[in-house]
Amino acid sequence: MFSFLVSFLASAVLTLLVIKYAVLHAPALDTDFLGVQKVHDHHVARIGGLPIFIALMVTAIASALTNPSITPWLMALLLCGASALAGGLAEDYTGRVGAGWRLLFTMVAALAGFFLLDARIERIDFPHSSVILPALWISLPFTVLAVAGIAQAINIIDGFNGLASVVTICMLVSLAYVGWQVGDVFILSGSLMVAGAITGFLIWNYPIGLIFLGDGGAYFIGFMLGELAVLLVMRNGEVSTWYAVLLLIYPAFETVFSAYRRMFLRGKSPVMPDGIHLHTLIFRRIVLWTAGAKEARALIRRNSLTSPYLWMLSLMAVIPATVFWKNTAVLIFFCLLFVVSYVWLYTRIVRFKSPRWLILRKKNWRL
């Protein structure tokens, strides 16, 4: 818990300083209120990844006081992730770095992790057997694309206050628990450290949204999440590879489904932003009418009411992944169940047939 507390406190203080002196980061203020994925109406600093990264560096250095053996590994992990952070921050400050370039920066981070941390996917488990990927030309691109893909997926679901933050915190806590179960101190400390830093950011992001993760924060914590998941599974053979698949399936499937929808159903580029992600549909067709008129306070209420729906959806995967982390057959079953449930829910909502149990009664919500 030392790593969690230190990173939480450092992140909370640093994030507050960014908010207080937001004028110093004028180029990184989100002033676009008309975009297809925008649901706020005031200027907000979108560089939440910066205080998170600095807090993690502070915590990694402080870890030398309690567990010096893992400090070099934590520092190496953060240095690898700096590339993903840099690509996102460049977009946050300039607005001129396309998704392809941001993904490339994250792939460089994953490539560095492949060689510096030995974070490489070398097996895929199946009931009663495993497929080994010994060849570098197979393992390397597969690992880089998988880690970068998770980072991109976290960026995609980062659409509402607290959504990406709470989802990743739950996943990191699960990684810490399984790391503790198998005696992997590096994964345990690293996961709690990242979870603490995100929690320190979260108290200023949810529910009011005083600061956003931005592309830098989303790509960075997505990289850290993907890298820790790969390291846990590959360093500990008793952990099924399907644990990582189920743990990360909500953002991963959201990304795959969005690409399919854009390319094959709408005939557009798979990276073209749109306003019909599942979280956006829940906002517009389930939550929107519950919070009153289109005023600032009502907009914040609607925003804060949307994220819990997706937290619950994510927990449908995180909880069974955490419970059955070494049972491949059960994990595969829950992966299939999640995919079916997601498609069913999306189809119902997009056809204006949302399940009644999802709809809140309209009342005078207060912050």
Indicate the angle between helix axes 71-94 and 49-62, nearest 10 degrees. 170
* Tokens 């929107």 -> residue: 288
Label the pairing between strands 44-45 and 123-126. unpaired
pTM: predicted TM-score of the whole model, two decimal places: 0.91
d(CA 19, CA 105): 27
For the residues 321-343, what does the mean pLDDT come to? 97
Residue with tokens 């059955």: 324
Position 41 confidence tier, pLDDT thresholds 50, 70, 90: very low
Does residue 287 contact residue 302 with C-beta atoms inside 8 Å? yes
Mean pLDDT over 191-209 rounds to 95
Distances in Å between the Cα of 157 and the Cα atoms of 153, 280, 336 are 6, 10, 21
Tell me how far apart the alpha carbons of residues 15 and 107 are, in angstroms, rounded to a whole number: 27
3-state helix, strand, coil in the chain (%, to 5): 70, 5, 25
Would you give the distance in Å from CA 296 to the centre of its chain? 27
Q: Which residue has the tokens 């492949």?
A: 114
Residues 40/295, Cβ–Cβ less than 8 Å? no
SS3 per residue for 56-103: HHHHHHHHHHCCHHHHHHHHHHHHHHHHHHHHHHHHHHHCCCCHHHHH
**Which pLDDT belongs to residue 285?**
79
**Using only C-alpha atoms, what is the Rg of the chain?**
20
342 closest CA partner among 303, 308, 316, 304: 316
Q: Where are the domains of the chain?
A: 2-358
pLDDT tens, position by position, 141-194: 999 999 999 999 999 999 899 999 999 999 999 999 999 999 999 999 999 999
Q: What is the DSSP string of 228-242?
A: HHHHHHHH-TTS-HH
Give the DSSP H/E element, type plus range, for residue 129.
strand 129-132
pLDDT exceeds cutoff 60 at 38: no
- End-to-end CA, the chain: 31
Phi-psi region of 128 (alpha: psi -120 to 50; beta: other; left: phi over 0): left
* Residue 32 banded pLDDT, cuts 50, 70, 90: low
Residue 357: count other Cβ atoms within 10 Å of its Cβ: 5
Average pLDDT over residues 253-264: 85
Q: What rounded mean pLDDT belongs to the chain?
A: 88
Sign, CA torsion 220/221/227/230: negative
Cβ-based neighbour number of residue 307 at 10 Å: 25
Is the pLDDT higher at 176 or at 263? 176
- The per-residue pLDDT for range 90-143, each reduced to its tens digit, is 999 888 898 899 999 999 999 999 999 999 999 999 998 899 987 888 999 999
The rounded Cα 232 to chain-centroid distance in angstroms is 17
One-letter identity of residue 271? V
Type of residue numbered 227 = E
Q: Which helix (H) or strand (E) is 44 found in, with range?
A: strand 44-45
Locate 123 and state its tokens: 């097996």
CA dihedral 99, 147, 10, 116 (to 10 degrees): -120
Q: Which residue has the tokens 């009502």?
A: 298
Q: What is the mean pLDDT of residues 287-306?
A: 66
Question: Which residue carries 């009411």 as its tokens?
Answer: 305
